[in-house]
A and B are shown apart, each in its own frame.
Chain A
Amino acid sequence: MTVTVDPAEIAKFEAMAAEWWDPEGKFKPLHMLQPCRLDYITTQIAGEFDRDLSGEAPFAGLRIVDIGCGGGLLCEPMARLGAEVVGVDAAAGNIPVAQTHAAQSGLEIDYRHTTAEALAEAGEGFDVVLNMEVVEHVSDPLAYLSACRALLNPGGLHLCSTINRNAKSFGMAIVGAEYVMRWLPKGTHEWSKFITPDELYELLSKAGLEPVDRKGFVFNPVTWGWKISDRDLSVNYVTAALAPRA
């Protein structure tokens, strides 16, 4: 896949890639959440496919798709762990940005401007679908999750994180993150679109997936960092679900 050759364009993509990957920049909240969600993702994949994370290229032979890949924050770690990675984003502008950064990192990742639905229609199959912080932005969650399900090979793993809908999540994710801390642009989230863990489990089941695990991502204002919680799913949370074996 070649990046456009206009040097002004390349400079622009490099600047945008730098922005995506700046831990203190516009995407700071994602960077802060990154170790925590990577811990969850890598442990779930390693557990499901019996891989040893301390070994060389533990995800070799696995095909992973990241929906809503943005600048490639999740695709690059997966590629570094040896997986064959496809990154998908509905925003065309993100694709050359992610490609530029992958080239700088010396990683081969197949970035595409498309959607989960279109990819499913094309008949692509994956061992893992990463569906992180997307479902709260789509208009028809069940149709979207059904497309994600269609992307999975038999026995494949679907990881989906989102934001709970309650008074606390309204305070933390919208008032806190968008208005007080200015971590996210105002209007990033629409609270009524948030989904509770029980609703998500039900949607996943309806889409033909078997939910097997859910955990909270909890922000600790003292250590100023995130950690995984078994019990506290009150704001950010993540789920793991499996596609039926053939």
Chain B
Amino acid sequence: MDNPAARAIVRPMTQDTDLLITGGGLNGAALALAAARAGLTATVIDAAPLPAHRDPDFDGRSYALALGSVRMLKRLGLWEGLADHAQAMSEIRVSDGRVGVAEAVLGLDFQSAEIEEGPMGQMVEDRYLRRVLLDALAGSDRVTHLPGRKVVSQATEGARARVTLDDGTALSGRLLVGADGKRSGTAQRARIRRTGWRYGQTGLVCAIAHEKPHEGVAHQLFLPAGPLAILPLTGNRSSIVWSEREAQAAAVQALPDADYLTVLRPRFGDFLGDISLAGARYAYPLELSLANAFVADRLALVGDAAHAMHPIAGQGLNAGLRDVAALAHVLAEARQRGEDIGARDVLGRYQSWRRFDVATLAAATDVFNRLFSSDNPLLRAGRDLGMKLVQAFPEARRGFVREAAGLTGELPELMRG
């Protein structure tokens, strides 16, 4: 296949598709598949090259998929390839603690048994989720996947959005979707400004192996420096998301593994026995970054390109998938009505659906974090009382469980039961 002309005959390059999606991450790939399911064609332009190995080692990255997200992956036919690698979360325990104070009193307990829909979420590793998405992209005849390619310019012309790639390829589509993360070049080129701030905190992320089984229980521990989430992975392993003040986090991240674990142990407690690292360590600055508009002329933003959030409740990917499901829903309806899927009224429906949800969630996680990342005795007393109240009233508790499971608000078709 050295002759480019011969290759072109074997696999003709699709120049025009319904959707042009920039960013081949989880949201971009899920959108292409959801669009294909609705009868639309999509081209996914991904700056990242294809992974070198089909079965990479566990790198420590994983996601807490809310029930709504799991339903969506099932509808897209992806769950079969993930089920064996997923750990159900049947319970979330929330507690308030201080480093070194052993066995913090468990303030709040949310159990899946309180809602009828089943486990409130599933933990999956990044490597498995990415693989099923890439395989599905390759297997769909409505999707063209262009890994290792960058967009250098974009424009609109009549009823088409047009992009030019770094190798000179020109592509067009009825709608351009930016799924290219919180530094979205797609949003920048459309001159969409952002609002946001840093929290002065860093999220330290790693996976650990532990002696005792976790029984599918997730823990959210509120420490003065910031929250610590312990999320169950398959086997005797858990994923840790650990927020610390920036300077402290930088110091911890620079430590060798053994010393890192020494800092983690008193925070983590010993309820799962001894712990060791089970993958690489990551550090992410915590910030809130909202695009001032989620849509523009023949353009829509999804995921972090629209809203990068504090990952306190693990809602980043879930909120992104909810964008994807809502956009796919709006586009599928528009297609069946014969509407232009890139028209302003159609995109306006997506924006008004998602912007309110996202602003509410961003504000709630922001307040939640400020409230819980504090050692102020008055705030501590207030939130202890609040936790006791929520714990005492089953209706309030069920409300939290449904929220965590992603089952509140108007659900897109892909996330309905």
Spell out A's residues near B (CB within 8 Å). 21-23, 31, 34-35, 38-39, 42, 53-56, 59, 76-81, 104-106
Contacts and interface: CB of A to CB of B under 8 A. Distances in A.
Interface in B156-185: 158-159
A23 B39 contact: no
Given A31-B345, A34-B345, A104 B337 contact: no
Contact of B158 (A42, A59, A80, A105): A105
B337 A56 contact: no
A34 B346 CA distance: 11
8 contacts: A23-B344, A38-B339, A53-B336, A54-B39, A77-B337, A78-B338, A80-B340, A81-B338
Nearest to A58: B336
A56 B40 CA distance: 10
Contacts of A42: 336-338
B351 to A, nearest CB: 12
B175 to A, nearest CB: 14
B405 to A, nearest CB: 25
Q: Chain B CB within 10 Å — which of A22, A35, A55, A59 has the most? A: A35
A38 B345 CA distance: 13
B340 A38 contact: no
A31 B346 CA distance: 10
Interface of B: 38-39, 158-159, 333, 336-340, 343-345, 348-349
Given A23-B344, A23-B345, A54-B39, A77 B158 contact: no
Contacts of A53: 336
Nearest to A223: B352
Given A54-B336, A78-B338, A105-B158, 13 more contacts: A23-B343, A23-B345, A23-B348, A34-B345, A35-B339, A38-B338, A38-B339, A42-B337, A76-B340, A79-B338, A80-B338, A80-B339, A105-B159
Contacts of A39: 337
Nearest to A56: B39
A23 B345 CA distance: 6
Contacts of B333: 35
B340 A105 contact: yes
Nearest to A82: B338
B39 A55 contact: yes
B338 A106 contact: no
Q: Chain A CB within 10 Å — which of B38, B39, B333, B345 has the most? A: B345
B348 to A, nearest CB: 7
Contacts of B349: 35
B338 A77 contact: yes
A80 B38 CA distance: 16
A104 B158 contact: yes
